Amino acid sequence: MPYDENGIFAAIIRKEIPAKIVHETDNVLAFEDINPKAPNHILIVPKLQIETVNDLQDDHAQIIGEMVLAARDIAAEIGVAEKGYRLVINTNADAGQEIFHLHMHFFAGRKMTWPPG
């Protein structure tokens, strides 16, 4: 599936539509999920146009690393680092991916269940 430049996350990254941004670096943006599944539900996205994990190139390793480091920083900032949090990247239909701009879900603020649904 080709990248959709008119997609919602592309518009959020360009600051054309509003989002509750909680963290931003040169390469990564993090904002609150509009339909939260936990008390803290944040989406961490690369500013680079990448659809899914399947579309990652070897030279995207730095970006993926920065997404996880953003999660670390957000956890500290919102005070959940010690209690815990969960990071999830859904890929394609079986995982329920709905938006085809790579994003990592950051969940915290309640006890998570395992296995995930």
Q: Which residues are the active-site residues?
A: 103
What is the x/- site pattern for ligand AMP, positions 62-91, by CB under 6 A?
----------------------------x-
52 binds ligand AMP (CB under 6 A): no
66-71 long-range Cβ contacts below 8 angstroms, 24+ apart: 66/25, 66/27, 66/28, 67/28, 67/104, 68/104, 70/23, 70/25, 70/28, 70/30, 70/44, 71/44, 71/104, 71/106
Quote the least distance from Cβ 59 to ligand AMP, whole Å: 24
Per the CB < 8 A criterion, the answer to whether 52 and 44 are in contact is no
Nearest-angstrom CA–CA distance, 61 and 15: 25
38 binds ligand AMP (CB under 6 A): no
Closest to ligand AMP by CB, 12 or 82: 12
Of 78, 81, 87, 99, the one binding ligand AMP (CB under 6 A) is 99
49 binds ligand AMP (CB under 6 A): no
6 binds ligand AMP (CB under 6 A): no
Closest to ligand AMP by CB, 59 or 98: 98
Q: How many beta carbons lie within 10 A of that of residue 30, not counting itself?
A: 24
